[in-house]
Chains A and B, each alone.
Chain A
Amino acid sequence: MTTIIMKTTARVVVPIVLVVAISLFLQGHNLPGGGFIGGVLTVAAFALVYVAYDLDYLEVSVLERDVDPGRGIFEHRTVTTYRRLFTLGLAVTLASGAGALLFGEPFLSQTFDYVHLPLFGEVELATALVFDVGIYCVVVGGLLAIFSVVGAE
């Protein structure tokens, strides 16, 4: 699948997909989107990179780091990062739920407020966004961990 057409398309498409994913994630509270959709779209972008290039491409060519070829896939730095990501996501989700307990509300209660920012005008800040960040991290980390390990087989 690592043809020139594929590689060129991926180069053009992936940044756009990532931007769309982030905007979908952020607008989720008021428009179609949210943590899960944004997460899956991000995964799709990364998956495209893996299909067009390979697992080490991000490390070697984008981040310009060395990859130790002798290590197994489970100790691979990318997989470790994804593992940490979904662990972090779960932690954020739980913490956002536990935060409500501090204010005497039931577990996972959410609230929101509006603040004025220069340039942006009135912006809504919702605690649900923190919860959604956690969901996003779990989806991205979990699916990409599976994807990269299975892909390496």
Chain B
Amino acid sequence: MAPERWVVFAAVALPFLAAALLPLGYRLLGERVGYAGAAVAAVCFGLVASLVGTSGTVSAPWIPSMDVAIRFYVDGWALLFALLASGIGVVIFAYSAAYMHGMPNLVRFYATLSAFMGSILGVAFASDLLVFFLFWELTSVCSFVLIGYHTEEADSQFSARMAMLITVGGGLCLLAGILLLSSAAGVVLGGGAADPTFDLATILAAEATGGSISTQLEDSGLFLPALALVTVAAGAKSAQVPLHFWLPRAMVAPTPVSAFLHSATMVKVGVYALGRLRPLFGGPEWELLIATLGLATMTVGAVLAVRAVDIKELLAYSTASHLGLMVAAFGFQIHYGAEAGAYHLLNHALFKAALFLVAGIVAHEVGTRRVDDLGGLWRDLPVTAAITVVTALSMAGIPPLHGFYSKELLFAAAWDSAQAGGGLAWLYPVTATVASVFTVLYSLRFLWLFLGDRPDGLGAVHRPPVALVGPPALLAGAAVVATVLPERTIDLLVQDGALATATAGETVSVHAELPLELSGPVAMSLLAVGFGVALFPAYDRVLAVVNRGYRLSSAVHPTALYRGLLAGVDRGSDGIRRWLHTGLIRSYVWWALAGTCAITLAGYAATDATPAIAGLGVPTAMVLVLGVAVVAALAVTATDTHVTGVLTLSILGFMVAIFYILASGPDLALTQLVVETLLLLIFLLVIEELPAFYGELDVSVAAGDAALSLVVGATAFVSVLLVAPPGGGSLSGTAKEYVERAPKEGGGTNVVNVILTDFRAFDTLGEAIVIAMAAMSVLVLLAMRGRGETR
């Protein structure tokens, strides 16, 4: 069944509309506007839910000439992601209303959060690759604003900039990958490389029937570059090694943001894209690259989570680790891979968002987030403790909780791939098991915040209000439902999603059942849980080993590399600034002119332009006028006072005006005359302020200036020769058309002015804006001269 067009568009547009109306809502409702946001999210959730069971493309035209349209594609995978985003959005908005009580800048916070939800729904549904890219970058921008919520704090600024640089840098790679992909698709689907196809749904459909687009990419040698670009983009967004380090830093954002953006939705955009493109890029290279990347991240994230000192940092590294799990799952070229990736996307969002909200409650009520200072909170926070038991054990992958099923599917994928590949491929299951041991360890550590001994230093703990506990309880309730009715959950949400990520030839059928006999994957689970539980009493010793390893590897820590890179860029731009930004207007003019001439001449050289000279039939009057102009120009260089210099220069200007009259360009002549007059007046105004004597002339400077003057003159000369129409007095085609159309369509006989105000009014508008901007710049520059750096 095809989806209703308005439903899809409304679901994506509504959050943006809400973001625009939020300032008004805040005036009416105050802090309760968070609940209005929750209502909007609920409406979006309802709209998306009404689409379940449909599939197909809806579109509205955008740039028809380039085949770009606002296309949305609805299928199981898009619906799964969109339901997660809007559903968790409801919970987050409701939680924020209580959590952000009394905080500043709430309008910006809620508006960005709402716009973010719209962007993520856009990413989920976008079928046009350019629209997809647009929403993808919008999520990065929203994330930047939300991470930098505390705009005054240096830590916030640093983290927001880091997240922005990495995710947007990844976004640029995505754009490059998209262009490679769409031009290859253009070749296959007719039209050629110059007529790219941006419709992802069409591309995937063509790939599913013939596999010809990936073949085309391989033939043109662009398969690996495109794959690498997409992987870098997804890796940056989904915090994969070695670009994972921005995610823990992003935890300076308020907790609802961490729960929504940095665990449940935005960071999953990369995973989502990999799932989407899996049918297209699938193959041995894909498996090697993506599965290795995912498993590496899974391990590194889990190990770093074990040594985290802050509960949100623990959850952030754990998120990176679980994202690695999903990425690895999509990497494996076996049907278990698609199943594990899609299923874990849902499971992880349920338990991790709830755990973040729990972390927020702990920070809010206890006042600290340090792992070492917390423990035995179950007496103070019984409901929160119950939520944590369900979600943390699910995160650890303990049966029969829902997190176990999807992890078991990953183990199955790793095990079968190893059996198929043999040799080094056995590293897949080994790494996955080791990473899972650490997962169990840090999950239990988080659980022990509630179960272990209560440290003496912990003061009185308030009971959290229902408004804070309700939202995570809702998520935990969903987790319980997913645990009790796994097959129903799969039928409703996961199965169709997994189908969309399957490569051709895979039979995807997701099942969740407790294993009753021993097999490879079951053994992996047993080992992971067994070792994890056995090692937990010796947590301190594990921590010491991990810390030693961390210190030994300090040379290759990505954060250090990132800082080094930033410092290098700073130094480099400082060096360029010293050299280029001299503060002398003459050096700017020199370089601007030299650059313009170089580019212009290079353009002529590249196009092999040859001037068409049709005789030298110049009237005597013109020769005379131009001769006077040349003499005036020569005289300017020989004057010894400013007044004579200015006046001689004016002779030159007025001669040019007369030349325009002779060449029958009265408008040009008029303009030249009035501008010349105005310039003369301005000179008169400032002439008394100019110094009479500038000092000795430096020969090398003068030589440079003379050379530049010659080059500028030569460039202008060549340009005139090339651009001027062939002689003979006949009009060019463009000129003829304007002359014909001006009286008829513009109602004026002055063709120049009709062009200015009618045919090309947009250009004139632009020039008017330039004049206004120049005036404003002068006002601002002069008004601010007394402020700022002269302190």
Contacts and interface: CB of A to CB of B under 8 A. Distances in A.
Chain A bound to chain B: yes
A153 to B, nearest CB: 7
B747 A142 contact: no
A138 B768 contact: yes
Contacts of B671: 36-37, 40
**Which of A1, A37, A111 gathers most chain B CB within 10 Å?**
A37
Among B671, B677, B761, the most chain A Cβ lie within 10 Å of the Cβ of: B761
Interface in B252-278: none
A73 B757 CA distance: 34
Contacts of A146: 774-775, 778-779
B775 A40 contact: no
A86 B678 contact: no
How extensive is the interface on chain B, given as a class? 35 or more
A93 B765 CA distance: 7
B670 A37 contact: yes
Interface in A64-92: 73-74, 79, 82-83, 86-87, 89-90
A99 interface: no
A34 B775 contact: no
Interface in B540-583: none
A8 B764 CA distance: 37
B667 interface: yes
B685 A94 contact: no
Interface string A17-61: 000000010001111111111001101100110110000000000
B782 interface: yes
Most A C-beta atoms less than 10 A away, residue of B669, B771, B774: B771
A26 to B, nearest CB: 11
Contact of B772 (A32, A87, A111): A87
B677 A33 contact: no
Interface stretch (B114-122, B431-439, B440-448, B748-756): B748-756
Contact of A34 (B678, B684, B757, B768): B757
A32 B747 contact: no
Nearest to A27: B750
Contacts of B703: none
Nearest to B667: A32
Interface string A117-153: 0000000101010011011001101110111011101
B232 to A, nearest CB: 40
A23 to B, nearest CB: 12
A31 B750 contact: yes
B669 to A, nearest CB: 8
B747 A47 contact: no
Contacts of A151: 685
Contacts of A50: 685
B93 to A, nearest CB: 36
Given A47-B678, A142-B774, A134 B747 contact: no
Contacts of A97: 761, 765
Given A34-B757, A128-B757, A29 B775 contact: no
Nearest to A144: B775
B750 A30 contact: yes
A93 B772 CA distance: 12
A70 to B, nearest CB: 16
Contacts of B677: 41, 44
Interface of B: 666-667, 669-671, 674-675, 677-678, 681-682, 684-686, 688, 746-750, 752-754, 756-758, 761-762, 764-765, 768-769, 771-772, 774-775, 778-779, 782-783
List of 9 A-B pairs having minimum Cβ-Cβ separation, nearest first: A112-B747, A142-B775, A29-B748, A128-B757, A32-B666, A108-B761, A142-B771, A110-B758, A138-B768
Interface of A: 1, 24, 28-37, 40-41, 43-44, 47-48, 50-51, 73-74, 79, 82-83, 86-87, 89-90, 93-94, 97, 107-108, 110-112, 124, 126, 128, 131-132, 134-135, 138-139, 141-143, 145-147, 149-151, 153
19 contacts: A29-B754, A30-B750, A31-B749, A33-B670, A44-B674, A44-B678, A47-B678, A47-B685, A50-B685, A74-B779, A74-B783, A86-B772, A94-B765, A97-B765, A108-B765, A110-B757, A126-B746, A142-B775, A149-B778
